[in-house]
C-alpha cells in the first residue's frame, strides 16, 4: 500500500513537470506561430521535454546521486545556448529570453519533483504570464519618464529601505510617538499620490480622478483631499471634478469606518449606522453628480506635474505626529471623561485611529452608544478638517463645493440619528 502511494506521488510530480513545460511551450509556440517549420529553436514539444527532463533528473537524484543530474543539466544548458547562438547569428536577433526560459523550465521541472508542488506550479504560471505580457511591458517602459521612475524609486526606498529599520515602539518619554507607524502612514500617503498619478495616466482625466478619489479613501481621504486641493489651484478648470474625487474619498472613508465597527464591535455599528450611513451616501451621491456634470471642454489634458510630492507627504506625517501628541496630552490631563474632546481632536488628523481604539473598548469598558457617539464626533471633525484644508490650499470652487456637500452630509447624518 505504501509503495502504491509513493508511486502515485512520483507520477503526479512527473506529470506536473511535463505540464509546466507544455504550458510555457504553448505561450512560446503561439508567439512564433507564423514562423516556418524548422525555423524555431523551441516550441511546445521542446519545452515539454526540457521540463520533463528536469523532473526526471529530480527523480534520479535520490538513486544516482547529484553527479548524473548535474551532468545532464550542464549538457542541456550547453545545447540550448549553442542552438540559441546559431539562431541569433542567422536572424540577427540577440535576445536571450528563449535560452533563459528553457533553462528556467528545466529548473521548474526539477523543482516539481524535489520541492513543493504548489509553489512550483504557481511559479510556472507567473513566468508564463510574464512572458505573455511582453508587449504591454515594453510599451510601459517606452512611455516611462524619468520623473515617474524617480518617484517609484523614492517610494520603494521609503518602503523597503527606511521602514524596516525604524523601531516599532514608542521612543518618547510620553509613550506617544511610534516612528514605524508614523512612517508607515507617510508611505501610504505617498502611495496614494503615486497611484492617483498612474490611474490618471492610464485612463482619461475624469475616470482617473474619480478612481483616485475612491481608492484614496481606502488609505487616507484627508491626504487625498489635500493633494486634490493643490491640484485645483494649479488647474482651476478641474475644480468640480477634483471636488467630486474628494467627496468619493470621504464616502469610502466613512464606509470603511462602518466596516471596521462591523468586524470589531457589531453593537457599535448598530448605533453608528443611522448617522454615518446617510452621511456617506450624500458624499457618494454628491461626488457622482459632480463627476457626471463636469464640463469636458477645459483641462482635458490635465496630468499631475509630480507623481510623488515628497514634501507634502512629509508635512502630512508631521501633522499626524502633532495630532497624536495633542491627543495623548489631552487624555493625560483630563482623563477618559474627555473622550468626546479626544475624538474630535484625533478625528482632525486621522479617523481610523479613534475608530479602532474606541471600538475595541466597547462593550466591556464603554457602552456601544458612547462609542458610536465618539466615532461620529471624530467623523464630523475629519470632514471639517478636510474642508479647512480645501479652503486654505485649494481653489475657491473646490472648497465651496466640498463645503456645501459636507454640510448637507452632516445634516443628513444628524437627521438619520434623530429619526432612530
DSSP secondary structure string for all residues of 145-188: -HHHHHHHHHHHIIIIIIGGGS-SS--STTS---HHHHHHHHHH
Q: Are 380 and 411 in contact (CB under 8 A)?
A: no
Per DSSP, the three-state class of 299 is coil
Give CA separation, 109 vs 18, 235, 382, 400, in Å.
7, 56, 55, 63
Report the pLDDT value the prediction gives residue 221, as an integer from 0 to 100. 79
pLDDT at 337 over 70: no
Final residue belonging to a domain, choices 99, 117, 139: 139
Convert the pLDDT of each residue in 361-385 to its tens digit.
666 666 777 778 888 888 898 889 8
Residue 164 belongs to what domain range?
144-419
Final residue belonging to a domain, choices 139, 157, 175: 139
Q: Give 375's contacts (C-beta < 8 A, 6+ positions apart).
A: 257, 261, 268, 272, 276, 343, 354, 355, 358, 359
Secondary structure (DSSP) of 190-206 = HHHHHHHHHHHHHS-HH
Q: Are 286 and 408 in contact (CB under 8 A)?
A: yes
Pair 102, 18 in one domain: yes
Out of 17-21, 160-164, 258-262, 293-297, which region has the weakest mean confidence (pLDDT)? 293-297
**Nearest CA-CA partner of 15 in 64, 76, 70, 56:** 56
pLDDT band at 184 (very low <50, low <70, confident <90, very high): confident
Report the pLDDT value the prediction gives residue 178, as an integer from 0 to 100. 77
pLDDT band at 360 (very low <50, low <70, confident <90, very high): low
Pair 183, 306 in one domain: yes
CA 242: distance to chain centroid?
A: 21
Report the pLDDT value the prediction gives residue 179, as an integer from 0 to 100. 83
Pair 92, 127 in one domain: yes
Convert the pLDDT of each residue in 19-74 to its tens digit.
998 888 888 777 665 555 555 556 788 888 889 999 989 888 888 888 888 888 89
Residues 221, 222, 224, 227, Cα dihedral to 10°: 170
How far is 251 from 16, CA to CA, in rounded Å? Answer: 48
Report the pLDDT value the prediction gives residue 105, as an integer from 0 to 100. 92
Pair 115, 224 in one domain: no
pLDDT at 297 over 60: no
Give CA separation, 36 vs 31, 33, 99, in Å.
13, 8, 20
Q: Number of C-alpha atoms within 13 angstroms, CB side, residue 316?
A: 28
Question: 297 — phi, psi (to 5°)?
Answer: -90, -10
Report the pLDDT value the prediction gives residue 5, as an integer from 0 to 100. 47
Q: Are 48 and 70 in contact (CB under 8 A)?
A: no
Q: Are 248 and 213 in contact (CB under 8 A)?
A: yes
Pair 347, 216 in one domain: yes
Pair 373, 232 in one domain: yes
Pair 56, 126 in one domain: yes
Report the pLDDT value the prediction gives residue 250, as an integer from 0 to 100. 86
Report the pLDDT value the prediction gives residue 60, as an integer from 0 to 100. 86
What cell does 279 get? 452621511
Convert the pLDDT of each residue in 403-412 to its tens digit.
999 899 989 8
pLDDT at 114 over 80: yes
Cα angle at 102 between 96 and 108, to 5 degrees?
130
Q: Give 95's contacts (C-beta < 8 A, 6+ positions apart).
A: 88
pLDDT at 306 over 70: no
Give CA separation, 352 vs 112, 203, 222, 333, 355, in Å.
45, 30, 11, 23, 5
Pair 11, 104 in one domain: yes
Report the pLDDT value the prediction gives residue 302, as an integer from 0 to 100. 47
Report the pLDDT value the prediction gives residue 203, as an integer from 0 to 100. 60
How far is 152 from 136, CA to CA, in rounded Å? Answer: 18
Q: Are 294 and 240 in contact (CB under 8 A)?
A: yes
pLDDT band at 293 (very low <50, low <70, confident <90, very high): low
pLDDT at 193 over 60: yes
Q: Is 339 or 50 the better-scoring residue by pLDDT? A: 50
Pair 101, 238 in one domain: no
pLDDT above 90: percentage of residues in the chain = 3
10 Å CB burial of residue 157 (0-12, 13-18, 19+) is exposed
Report the pLDDT value the prediction gives residue 408, as an integer from 0 to 100. 92
> Which residue do the cell numbers 474630535 mark?
344
Report the pLDDT value the prediction gives residue 24, as an integer from 0 to 100. 87
**Nearest CA-CA partner of 318 in 196, 213, 225, 182:** 182
Quick one: average pLDDT of 345-358?
74
**Nearest CA-CA partner of 188 in 148, 232, 224:** 224
Pair 64, 195 in one domain: no
pTM over 0.75: no
Report the pLDDT value the prediction gives residue 301, as an integer from 0 to 100. 44
pLDDT band at 106 (very low <50, low <70, confident <90, very high): very high
**What is the rounded average pLDDT for all residues in the chain?**
77
Report the pLDDT value the prediction gives residue 253, as an integer from 0 to 100. 84
End-to-end CA distance of the chain: 68
Cis peptide before 363 (omega within 30 of 0): yes
Final residue belonging to a domain, choices 90, 121, 139: 139
Radius of gyration, CA atoms only, the chain: 29
pLDDT at 161 over 80: yes
Quick one: average pLDDT of 297-307?
48
Report the pLDDT value the prediction gives residue 417, as an integer from 0 to 100. 78
Pair 182, 119 in one domain: no
Pair 168, 123 in one domain: no
What cell does 88 get? 541569433
**Nearest CA-CA partner of 307 in 378, 177, 208, 399:** 208
Report the pLDDT value the prediction gives residue 314, as an integer from 0 to 100. 72
pLDDT band at 309 (very low <50, low <70, confident <90, very high): low
pLDDT band at 299 (very low <50, low <70, confident <90, very high): very low
Q: Are 386 and 225 in contact (CB under 8 A)?
A: yes
**Nearest CA-CA partner of 395 in 238, 200, 222:** 238
Overall domain count for the chain: 2
Amino acid at each position: 500500500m505504501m509503495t502504491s502511494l509513493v508511486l502515485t506521488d512520483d507520477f503526479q510530480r512527473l506529470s506536473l513537470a511535463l505540464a509546466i513545460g507544455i504550458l510555457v511551450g504553448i505561450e512560446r509556440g503561439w508567439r512564433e506561430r507564423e514562423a516556418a517549420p524548422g525555423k524555431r529553436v523551441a516550441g511546445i514539444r521542446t519545452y515539454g521535454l526540457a521540463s520533463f527532463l528536469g523532473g526526471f533528473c529530480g527523480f534520479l537524484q535520490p538513486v544516482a546521486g547529484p553527479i548524473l543530474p548535474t551532468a545532464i543539466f550542464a549538457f542541456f544548458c550547453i545545447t540550448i545556448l549553442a542552438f540559441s547562438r546559431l539562431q541569433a547569428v542567422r536572424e540577427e536577433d540577440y535576445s536571450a529570453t528563449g535560452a533563459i526560459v528553457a533553462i528556467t523550465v528545466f529548473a521548474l521541472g526539477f523543482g516539481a519533483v524535489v520541492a513543493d508542488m504548489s509553489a512550483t506550479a504557481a511559479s510556472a504560471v507567473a513566468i508564463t504570464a510574464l512572458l505573455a505580457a511582453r508587449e504591454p511591458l515594453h510599451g510601459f517602459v517606452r512611455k516611462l519618464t524619468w520623473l515617474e521612475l524617480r518617484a517609484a524609486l523614492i517610494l520603494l526606498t521609503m518602503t523597503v529601505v527606511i521602514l524596516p529599520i525604524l523601531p516599532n515602539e514608542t521612543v518618547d518619554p510620553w509613550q506617544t510617538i511610534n516612528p514605524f507607524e508614523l512612517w508607515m502612514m507617510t508611505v501610504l500617503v505617498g502611495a496614494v499620490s503615486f497611484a492617483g498619478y498612474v490611474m490618471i495616466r492610464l485612463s482619461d482625466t475624469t475616470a482617473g480622478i474619480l478612481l483616485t478619489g475612491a481608492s484614496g479613501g481606502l488609505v487616507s481621504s484627508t491626504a487625498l483631499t489635500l493633494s486634490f486641493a493643490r491640484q485645483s489651484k494649479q488647474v482651476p478648470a478641474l475644480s468640480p471634478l477634483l471636488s467630486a474625487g474628494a467627496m468619493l474619498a470621504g464616502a469610502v472613508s466613512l464606509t470603511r469606518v462602518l466596516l471596521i465597527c462591523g468586524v470589531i464591535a457589531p453593537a457599535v455599528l448598530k448605533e453608528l449606522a443611522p448617522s454615518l450611513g446617510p452621511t456617506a451616501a450624500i458624499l457618494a451621491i454628491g461626488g457622482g453628480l459632480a463627476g457626471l456634470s463636469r464640463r469636458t471642454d477645459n483641462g482635458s489634458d490635465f496630468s499631475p506635474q509630480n507623481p510623488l510630492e515628497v514634501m507634502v507627504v512629509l508635512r502630512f506625517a508631521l501633522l499626524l505626529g502633532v495630532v497624536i501628541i495633542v491627543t495623548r496630552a489631552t487624555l493625560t490631563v483630563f482623563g477618559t471623561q474627555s473622550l468626546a474632546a479626544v475624538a474630535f481632536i484625533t478625528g482632525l488628523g486621522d479617523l481610523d485611529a479613534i475608530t479602532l481604539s474606541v471600538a475595541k473598548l466597547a462593550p466591556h469598558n464603554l457602552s456601544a452608544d458612547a462609542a458610536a457617539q465618539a466615532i461620529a464626533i471624530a467623523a464630523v471633525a475629519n470632514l471639517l478638517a478636510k474642508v479647512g484644508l480645501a479652503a486654505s490650499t485649494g481653489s475657491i470652487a473646490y472648497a465651496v463645493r466640498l463645503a456645501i456637500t459636507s454640510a448637507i452630509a452632516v445634516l443628513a447624518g444628524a437627521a438619520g440619528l434623530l429619526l432612530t
